[in-house]
């Protein structure tokens, strides 16, 4: 697992879908994950420091974990199968580590809210071109071209 960070959030004009980009803390590699509009909105609010008047779903989940005396230990993006990314939320509950299956978009929003570290399976940053194509993802060069078409002003300023 490689400690990583959210490096951008924008709207992919090719698919009209939000895309969050994740990079290792010490590398220029990039992992794009296309996500839903609601999750992009939640991530954007957290990145921008905007607080909702009422708890959103990710606020609620964090509140439930904390009220049970738990702590979000980390979030891991662990796999890519059939065009779907998989993630795990690690919760420390009374000294026991719980591993909860989750969507990466929800996991990332929760990690930002809990200020928990984000880790990515190293193999996801090293997918070969054929593996990317089989999974419906653009290869690194195509991805860079697609990301170049996104207005840089959109990164970190995603809005609905």
Q: Domain range holding 76?
A: 2-154
In a domain, 159, yes or no: no
In a domain, 160, yes or no: no
Q: What is the pLDDT of residues 38-60, one digit of tens each?
A: 899 899 988 888 888 898 888 99
pTM above threshold 0.75: yes
Compute the residue count for the chain. Answer: 160
Place of tokens 């194509």: 133
Give the pairing of strands 118-120 and 84-93: unpaired
In a domain, 53, yes or no: yes
Q: What is the pLDDT of residues 86-133, one digit of tens each?
A: 999 999 999 999 999 999 999 999 999 999 999 999 999 887 554 555
Number of domains in the chain: 1
In a domain, 112, yes or no: yes
In a domain, 55, yes or no: yes
In a domain, 87, yes or no: yes
Q: Are 28 and 145 within 8 A, CB to CB?
A: no
In a domain, 47, yes or no: yes
In a domain, 46, yes or no: yes
Cβ burial of 68 (10 Å; 0-12, 13-18, 19+) is: exposed
CA–CA distance, 160 with 154 (Å, rounded to integer): 12
CATH number, domain containing residue 51: 3.10.690.10
CA–CA distance, 79 with 85 (Å, rounded to integer): 6
């Amino acid at each position: 697992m490689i400690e990583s960070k959210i490096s951008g959030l924008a709207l992919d004009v090719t698919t009209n879908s939000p895309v969050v980009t994740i990079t290792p803390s010490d590398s220029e590699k990039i992992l794009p994950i296309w996500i839903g509009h609601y999750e992009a909105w939640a991530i954007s609010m957290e990145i921008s420091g905007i607080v909702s008047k009422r708890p959103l779903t990710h606020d609620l989940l964090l509140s439930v974990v904390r009220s049970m005396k738990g702590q979000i230990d980390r979030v891991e993006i662990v796999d890519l199968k059939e065009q779907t990314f998989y993630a795990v939320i690690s919760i420390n509950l009374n000294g026991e580590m719980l591993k909860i299956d989750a969507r990466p978009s929800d996991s990332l929003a929760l990690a930002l809210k809990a200020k928990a570290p984000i880790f990515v399976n190293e193999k996801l940053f090293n997918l070969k071109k054929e593996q990317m194509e089989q999974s419906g993802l653009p290869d690194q060069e195509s991805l860079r071209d697609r990301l170049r078409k996104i207005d840089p002003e959109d990164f970190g300023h995603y809005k609905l």
